[in-house]
Structure 1
Amino acid sequence: MNKQIAVKTREKWVDDIKVIACILVVLGHFFQSMTKASIMPENDLYKWFNTTIYYFHVPLFFICSGYLYQKYSKVNSLGRWRRNVAKKMLALGVPYATFTTATWVLKKVFSSSVNDQIGGLGDTLFLHPTAPYWYLYALFFIFLVTPTFIICSGLFIG
């Protein structure tokens, strides 16, 4: 798909929703770090704001991701599903591994200055993903175990 066709087929409303969700993530993490560092009090307004953000932005990201996956990932064979999983591993796995490793290194180097300690690198990458990268980890496994409608109907019918 060339760049001109990709621009024409983009759905602006999905991009707008993702921007709103990203802003909520940044605000949520900012206020959480401010309260953990005792710079800001953990009062009822903070608790309401934090709870509201987390009840809202994570489902919003999953809805956008699921919608785009169903729309653009037409899978009708096991081979195509494997290619799709490999594509998702690259698109989600590389940023996840890169940023998780960078965060792990920084938390190890500055361990006396961080709010939350971190385990071993292998444990962090494969078993206990760190915030905020757990989303990429979870999304990959959801894509892995949730085939598109076309593959479901093709496997059970054909």
Structure 2
Amino acid sequence: MSEKTAVRTREKWVDDVKVIACILVVLGHFFQSMTKANILPENNLYGWFNTTIYYFHVPLFFICSGYLYQKYGKVNSVGSWCKNVTKKALALGVPYATFTTATWVLKKVFPSRVNNQIGGLDDTLFFRPTTPYWYLYALFFIFLVTPTFSSVKAAAVGLIVALAAKVLILTGGGVQRLRCIDGSLKRNLVCARYEYLCV
């Protein structure tokens, strides 16, 4: 595919939504850091702003990823599923493992300088991903279990099945509630509101 074709087929609105979500992430982390350092007071306005951002900025990333995955991915057979797992393991796993390991090393070397202590490397990589890399971890598992749909009818059936599963999870209809990935209070707030995004 030529560079011109790639630019022409690029979804501009997805890029715009991701930019907005990135700005919200930066603002959220900035204000959290400022209140932790006692530079800004932790008042009602801060609480409202922080909670409001965490209601939708991470779901925006998941929506964009899901949209692009459904539009450009083809997972409709065992062979295509295996190719998808390999592709996603490289695209998401390599940056996840690299940055998680670097963060783990830094937190072990400078334990008195970090807000949150960290466990063993294997525990951090496989069971308790560290902030902010939990997103890549969760996205990989979502891609692992999500098929792509070749028609609107198949997508509608998939949506109905997903909504039914969500209702069962929320009502406790014989299905054990999903547990959120251990982590920061804010991430747990997101998971509490959007359990369907948690692994």
**Structure 1 unaligned residues grouped into runs of 5+:** 154-158
Aligned pair in 2 of structure 1 residues 62, 34: CA closer, same or farther (>3 Å)? same
**Which whole-Å deviations, capped at 9, do the CAs of 1:28-60 have from their partners, x for residues lacking one?**
112222222333221111111111111010111
1:81 aligns with 2:81: yes
Q: In 1, are the aligned partners of 2:108 and 2:118 still within 8 Å (CA)?
A: yes
SS at match of 1:149: coil
Taking the aligned partners of 1:96 and 1:102, their CA distance within structure 2 comes to 10
Higher relative contact order (CA 8 A, sep 6+): 1
Q: In 2, are the aligned partners of 1:104 and 1:121 still within 8 Å (CA)?
A: yes
The aligned amino acid for 2:127 is L
TM-score, with length taken from structure 1: 0.90
Q: In 1, are the aligned partners of 2:97 and 2:125 still within 8 Å (CA)?
A: yes
2:67 maps to 67
Q: CA deviation at 1:75?
A: 2.4
Taking the aligned partners of 1:131 and 1:6, their CA distance within structure 2 comes to 32
1:52 maps to 52
2:177 maps to none
TM alignment of 1:1-158, pairs within 5 A: 1-150=1-150
Taking the aligned partners of 2:120 and 2:2, their CA distance within structure 1 comes to 42
TM-score, with length taken from structure 2: 0.72
Q: CA deviation at 1:147?
A: 1.3
Q: CA deviation at 1:103?
A: 1.0
Identity %: 83
Taking the aligned partners of 2:98 and 2:35, their CA distance within structure 1 comes to 28
**Structure 2 unaligned residues grouped into runs of 5+:** 155-199
Which runs of structure 1 show a deviation greater than 3 angstroms over 4 or more consecutive aligned residues? Answer: none
